[in-house]
Amino acid sequence: MNDLEKLSDKILLKEIGRRFEEKSASVKEMEEMTKKLLELNEKTKESEKIKSQFLSLIKNEFNNPISSLLNLTNSLVNNINTDRALELSKLINLEASKLDFFFKNIFAATEIEAGEIANYYSSINLNSIVKDVIDNLKEICEDKNLKINFTNNCHGEVISDSEKIYLIILNLVSNACEYSFKNSEINIIIDGDDRSFLISVEDFGEGINSKIKEEIFNRFSKFNSGETRAESGLGLGLSVVLAEMEALEGIIDFQSERGETVFNIKIPKVNKELETIDNSASSNEFFFDSFDEDEDSDEKEF
């Protein structure tokens, strides 16, 4: 009872006000929930369809490169001592890197879904990562006569997870190539300040329809207007990019206007001390330095 007497009217009113706010927020929340329920219901209906599509997609995506690989290796065996050998080996390499890309996305998605997304920090070389990406996409660039311009304005050491950065850039640039019009250019620009580095990938193609803006990061969603892109791909790329960006605590956004599409990513720079060799206590812990360290007053044991 004593405690109650101590309470001033002001405090009581504040508490009542707080509870009212909480209540009105609850009502709003319920309305939101109902909407979400409807959305989810639709999604359930759709998911069976996607599942069956996915299996046939996988069949196509893997069957084609594998049968070309088999054919190519056969011709290589027959032409091993001729001038065609070099050309054939290049083709084999291209088909194999295509498969490698598909598998990388699938493995990344599997790892993300299994909760194995720890970052492995090391000093990374953005120039060579982008060069690898461009090499990987040589074929489509030659095919569509695309020119990739790369500018790196980020000097100094960058510490991040190189595998994740590679896959993020590869997916973005690969999408840019896929959706570009023939004979156009793609611009990759890297910038950086003290706290983060920014990568932007710009292409000139069919752009992203505003109707599907919300959906492009969903898994298994693929969009083609038929203008630039044959039905291909698994629809995993951007969902993997988004999840890996989250793991790196970065931000991704995009603008698409009149055929000019730019994806921007911003990734915070990591302290040198976090460079992980053994992946011991890593990552965010150091960002939160405001723990009660005074005595063991606040430490609890369970």
Partner 1 sequence: MYEKKFIGVGEIYIATKPTEIITVLGSCIAVCLYDERLQISAMNHYLVPLWNGNGLESPKYGNVSIPKMVNKILIKGSNIKTLKAKVFGGGNINNITSPEMMIGKKNLLIAKEILKEYKIPIVAEDTGGFRGRRIMMRSDTGKVFLKYTKKSNIDD
CA distances from 239 to 108, 196, 217, 282, 298 (A): 10, 22, 5, 25, 40
| Distance in Å, CB of 32 to partner 1, minimum | 8
Interaction between residue 302 and partner 1 (CB under 8 A): yes
Nearest alpha carbon to residue 180 among 207, 218, 219: 207
Between CA 283 and CA 121 the distance in angstroms is 9
Neighbouring C-alpha atoms within 13 Å toward the C-beta of 67? 5
Interaction between residue 277 and partner 1 (CB under 8 A): no
| Distance in Å, CB of 302 to partner 1, minimum | 4
Q: Toward partner 1, which CB reaches closer, 110 or 153?
A: 110
Q: Any residues with CB less than 8 A from the CB of 230 and at least 6 apart, and which?
A: 224
Q: Among 7-15, 89-97, 165-173, 215-223, which window interacts with partner 1 (CB under 8 A)?
A: 215-223
Q: Toward partner 1, which CB reaches closer, 217 or 223?
A: 217
Q: Among 53-61, 74-82, 264-272, 274-282, which window interacts with partner 1 (CB under 8 A)?
A: 274-282
Token pair for 151: 């500018």
| Distance in Å, CB of 38 to partner 1, minimum | 12
Q: Which of 239, 252, 254, 263 binds partner 1 (CB under 8 A)?
A: 239
Q: Toward partner 1, which CB reaches closer, 81 or 297?
A: 297
Token pair for 83: 């001038």
Token pair for 74: 């056969």
Interaction between residue 113 and partner 1 (CB under 8 A): yes
Report the DSSP pairing between strands 147-152 and 185-192.
Answer: parallel
Three-state secondary structure call for residue 108: helix
Q: What is the contact mask toward partner 1 in residues 119 to 148, using x (rule: CB under 8 A)?
A: x-----------------------------
Nearest alpha carbon to residue 285 among 276, 294, 277: 276
Residue carrying the six token digits 């990061």: 217
Interaction between residue 269 and partner 1 (CB under 8 A): no
Interaction between residue 288 and partner 1 (CB under 8 A): yes
Q: Which of 47, 82, 153, 271 binds partner 1 (CB under 8 A)?
A: 47
* Residue 237: CB atoms within 10 Å: 26
Distance between the two ends of the chain, CA-based, in angstroms?
A: 32
Number of residues that bind partner 1 (CB under 8 A): 47
Please, is 270 exposed, middle or buried when counting C-beta atoms within 10 Å of its C-beta (0-12, 13-18, 19+)? Answer: buried
Q: Toward partner 1, which CB reaches closer, 226 or 291?
A: 291
Q: Among 24-32, 92-100, 124-132, 173-181, which window interacts with partner 1 (CB under 8 A)?
A: 24-32
Binding footprint of partner 1 on the chain (CB under 8 A): 18, 21-22, 25-26, 29, 36, 39-40, 43-44, 47, 109, 112-119, 215, 217-219, 239-240, 242-243, 246-247, 279-285, 288, 290-292, 298-302
